[in-house]
Structure 1
Amino acid sequence: MIRSTEDRMTWVCTREPPMARLRLAPSPSRRAILDGGWWPTSRDPVVELCSLVTALTAQRGGVIERIMLQPAAWDRHPCRIGVDGAMVRVGWFTSLDAELVIITGPRDLRIDLAVIAPETAHAVATAAMLAASRPTTTRTAGTLPVPPSPRPRGAVRDGEDVAVWEAEGGHLRPDRQPTAPARI
């Protein structure tokens, strides 16, 4: 396999990375499937992973050695990133869910995080991160209350999203009274 120069280089974030939007379970639990949720601000893996590694190191301590991601969810695919003088290897696996990132380190360190798409609305992303960070969650990243891919702006006509919500059982308009279920 011939590797390009870009594949062999270690990418370093040249600007201050944004603060990671991250929510972790209070303590690691063997009963939970996920250890928390992460809501990146962009699809640039160098900036976002530097931010994530910095936050995880500060919150959980220890050294992050490897990060595993799904390539379709990101703009580029570096194999190594430099964070605070350390090198973190990045693996890209098409078999991994786009909504999951796996972080590993020494002494059996493993953190599984649900990844919420950067375009997700604030309320929805917050709810998903809360659900993922419950110490007893048995949900997988793909079953969190987040739409798998947000709709592009302008794809829904005004009022159409309300009709869809109403048809699915939600009530958005306060002037609409709920109807009694039909008896069979």
Structure 2
Amino acid sequence: MPLPRLSLTPDGSHGPLDGAWWPRCHALELELPALVGSLDPGYGTVTRVTVDPAAWPDAPHTVTAPDHVIEVAQADADTATHVITLDCGTAGRWELLVVPPDEPDAAAARLLATAADPWNPLTAAQLLARAETDLAGESVWESEGGPTSS
């Protein structure tokens, strides 16, 4: 698989998300090793991920990554949808928006950029809902005073 399409907040997050990941397909066992392999080693080793059961209904219980196995857990029903949580042992955890694989390129680029903005106050569900209402082709963030499309 090619390198993952990933955008992380620089120097930590102040909002509900730490960035976004745009997988190419719905096969977690294919996508996850590339995702964790692309993270800076300073983030620690990803030992467990928690996924949205609606987005990953057939997720395996474990995924083999280079040099280790990652436990895969299904999130509780009351947790955020379209989010993957990466647990990195003592280094902390990352909450990433999962951009749907079939999202159009322009919308995905805006979602990746906005989710990685350390001052983004929007949750994954809010970001995706605003992307869906972006019918006119202009950025959905302009009316909120947030990042704009270029």
Taking the aligned partners of 1:126 and 1:171, their CA distance within structure 2 comes to: 13
Amino acid at match of 1:70: D
Taking the aligned partners of 1:171 and 1:114, their CA distance within structure 2 comes to: 21
Partner of 2:4: 20
Taking the aligned partners of 2:16 and 2:42, their CA distance within structure 1 comes to: 18
Q: How does 1:75-114 map to 2 (within 5 A)?
A: 76-95=58-77, 96-114=79-97
Taking the aligned partners of 1:61 and 1:107, their CA distance within structure 2 comes to: 9
Q: Secondary structure at the match of 1:27?
A: coil
Question: What number of residue pairs does the alignment pair up?
Answer: 135
* Residues 171/67 of structure 1: CA separation in 2 closer, same or farther (3 Å cut): closer
Deviation, 1:71, is 2.0
Candidates 26, 33, 36, aligned match of 1:43: 26
Deviation, 1:146, is 2.8
Candidates 47, 53, 63, aligned match of 1:65: 47
Taking the aligned partners of 2:120 and 2:41, their CA distance within structure 1 comes to: 20
Q: Do residues 130 (structure 1) and 113 (structure 2) align?
A: yes
Taking the aligned partners of 1:70 and 1:63, their CA distance within structure 2 comes to: 21
Partner of 2:132: 147
Deviation, 1:76, is 2.1
Q: Do residues 117 (structure 1) and 63 (structure 2) align?
A: no
Q: 8 Å contact 2:20–2:99 — kept in the other structure?
A: yes
Q: CA RMSD in A?
A: 2.2
Q: Secondary structure at the match of 2:54?
A: helix
Q: 8 Å contact 2:22–2:98 — kept in the other structure?
A: yes
**CA displacement 1:90-112 (0-9 Å, x = unmatched):** 00125133311111122251100
Amino acid at match of 1:19: L
Identity between Structure 1 and Structure 2 (%): 27
Q: 8 Å contact 1:24–1:35 — kept in the other structure?
A: yes
Where in structure 2 are there 5+ consecutive unaligned residues? Answer: 139-150
TM-score by length of 2: 0.80
Partner of 1:155: none
Higher relative contact order, structure no. (Cα contacts within 8 Å, ≥ 6 residues apart): 2
Q: Which runs of 4+ in 1 moved over 6 A?
A: none
Q: Secondary structure at the match of 1:81?
A: strand
TM-score by length of 1: 0.66
